[in-house]
Chain A
Amino acid sequence: DTEVTQTPKHLVMGMTNKKSLKCEQHMGHRAMYWYKQKAKKPPELMFVYSYEKLSINESVPSRFSPECPNSSLLNLHLHALQPEDSALYLCASSQDPLSAYEQYFGPGTRLTVT
């Protein structure tokens, strides 16, 4: 199974809501990533988890809060977002955080903040 799954596929939320994005992989990968992608742009790295520990936070606003409950799951908790946070949020995983193995991407969650 070489699949990364993400739920939900689409999410519309108001600026005062709290919601969560979920990502799951069962490939035994020990690195997991959150990216934000705006239209016609490359993905921008937000967070990296290595062996379930947050290893990279690319100066992401605190209204985004990542969580890695176990080696297969990655969550992104959202609170008090702004309209400019509307984007495609991609999750990815790779085999080993210490080696440049390829990343496997999920299909993404299309987030709209109203």
Chain B
Amino acid sequence: AQSVTQLDSHVSVSEGTPVLLRCNYSSSYSPSLFWYVQHPNKGLQLLLKYTSAATLVKGINGFEAEFKKSETSFHLTKPSAHMSDAAEYFCVVSSNTGNQFYFGTGTSLTVIP
């Protein structure tokens, strides 16, 4: 069975400081992993994806994530937070059949000016 754990329900950072959003997954196969961002009252936007190629994945808006199989982690980072990064972030793992996706409970990011 697949599952995703986002370790922090809320993260608060100052503008210009690094962002770290943590995600651990459980899977019986080699999954595809995704990070999505959702701004208030909006749909979800893909930030980046891991699909068994390079373990360090670069995404949009300066975000990146590193797949660590030994730690079953896929943490999202950004060197310098911007006010526009304030949003809800979801870590997602695919099913082995590829047609279902399992969402973490989300991390709410607040950026303090």
Please choose the segment from A12-20, A62-70, A72-80, A94-102 that sits at the chain B interface, where 4 or more of its residues have CB less than 8 A away. A94-102
- Determine if A104 and B46 form an interchain contact, defined as CB atoms under 8 angstroms apart: yes
Which single member of A88, A99, A104 contacts B98 (CB below 8 Å)? A99
Whether, in the assembled complex, B94 has its beta carbon less than 8 Å from a beta carbon of chain A, the answer is: yes
The secondary structure that dominates the B interface is loop
The docked-state distance in angstroms from the alpha carbon of A31 to that of B100 is: 10
Taking A43-B103, A90-B43, A110-B41 as contacts, is the C-beta distance between A102 and B97 under 8 angstroms?
A: no
Contact, CB under 8 Å: B99 / A41: no
- Contact yes or no, B106 A42, CB < 8 A: yes
- Within the assembled complex, what's the spacing in Å between the Cα atoms of A100 and B32? 6
Across-interface contacts of A106 in B (CB, < 8 A) = 43
| B90 is an interface residue with CB less than 8 A from chain A | yes
Contacts of B90 in A (CB 8 A): 42-43
* Residue on A nearest B44 in the bound complex, by CB: A105
Known: A55-B99, A97-B98. A102 touches B43 (CB 8 A): no
Q: A100-B31, A100-B32, A103-B46 are in contact. Are A50 and B106 (CB under 8 A)?
A: no
Task: Quote the shortest CB–CB distance from A106 to chain B (angstroms).
Answer: 5
Given the complex, which residues of A lie within 8 Å of B101, measured CB to CB? 45, 100, 103
Q: Are A43 and B100 in contact (CB under 8 A)?
A: no
Q: Which residues of B contact A (CB under 8 A)?
A: 31-32, 34, 36, 41-46, 49, 51, 90, 94-95, 97-101, 103-106, 108
Q: Footprint of B on A, CB under 8 Å?
A: 4, 6, 31, 40-43, 45, 48, 50, 55-56, 88, 90, 92, 96-108, 110
